[in-house]
Structure 1
Amino acid sequence: MENMNIKEELLIKQAQEGYTVCYIESCPLRDHCLRWLVGQHLPNTASTYRCVNPHFEGVATAECPMCRNDQKVRFAKGMTHTFTSDMPKRVESEVRYGIIGLTNRTYYFEYRNGSRLIPPALQEDIRNLFRKSGWTDEVKFDGYVEDYNW
């Protein structure tokens, strides 16, 4: 691992942890897809692995639903200050149950305490839940980190 860059080390780590990989050579997105890149680092000691179904609708197209771009994105981290003291309890309750409905109860608490990062799409869903509940102020998360959207 001496001459390896950080990205290669992360790809190898994901491969060792059972990340779903892809081997569709004809895919137009493969050069920037984490699933393809991780597949290139899968150790030859693995006799089985999880792989993208090449027959799944939309796979290996410019709109592949399984593609995970190799660019870092901005994750929110924590929601302990998202629900403010001047927020009506009704709004807090509706949003909390809305997030649980989108994910599950365990994930909600992990998102809230920051032990699970909140991906960009879910951040927008949370903002929409607030708007739907009548809250017009800016939705603030505890912090943000840049990482790959594995």
Structure 2
Amino acid sequence: MVGRYADTSRETYLAVNPHNPLMGSDSCPLYREDIRVIKKKGFTNMYYDMPWHLEFKIRRQLIAKFGRKQYFQMRKGERLITPDQQKVIEQVMRANNWEGPIKYDGEVEDYLW
């Protein structure tokens, strides 16, 4: 019965409650500083010089860390790679004894929001 009268549009609005006592203070969990950082874009050529068995291990570990969808979005360049994520990628590669360079497809200066 309720379904007959429900709105059929599926619009979602996200808002920050201005009456939250933490808003406007330094302890607000939603506060982000306007710092520009270098984010990397894509790593389709990262495995080019790597032996297959090492590539397989590293890819599997990165998918376990980031999740399959996010990993492939980052790999194709659809999602920018933050400095923290770059450190995770480097740690995984160094933990698997890869001493070569980590090749990203490009870089973009962007806000860390």
Q: Give CA-to-partner distance per residue, 1:25-53, whole Å, 9 cap, x none.
A: 331xxxxxxxxxxxxxxxxxxxxxxxxxx
Q: How does the TM-score come out when normalised to structure 1?
A: 0.58
Deviation at residue 72 of structure 1 after TM alignment:
1.2
- The equivalent position to 2:43 in structure 1, one of 79, 84, 97, is 79
- The equivalent position to 2:92 in structure 1, one of 129, 132, 137, is 129
RMSD: 2.4
In structure 2, relative to structure 1, the CA distance for the partners of 1:26 and 1:107 (3 Å cut) is closer
Q: How does the TM-score come out when normalised to structure 2?
A: 0.75
Q: Runs of 5+ in structure 2 lacking a partner?
A: 1-11
- The equivalent position to 1:108 in structure 2, one of 71, 87, 104, is 71
In structure 2, relative to structure 1, the CA distance for the partners of 1:147 and 1:110 (3 Å cut) is same
Deviation at residue 94 of structure 1 after TM alignment:
1.6
- More contact order relative to length (CA 8 Å, sep ≥ 6): 2
Partner in structure 2 of residue 25 of structure 1:
24
Q: Runs of 5+ in structure 1 lacking a partner?
A: 1-15, 28-59
Q: Which amino acid aligns with 2:93?
A: F
Count the aligned residue pairs: 99
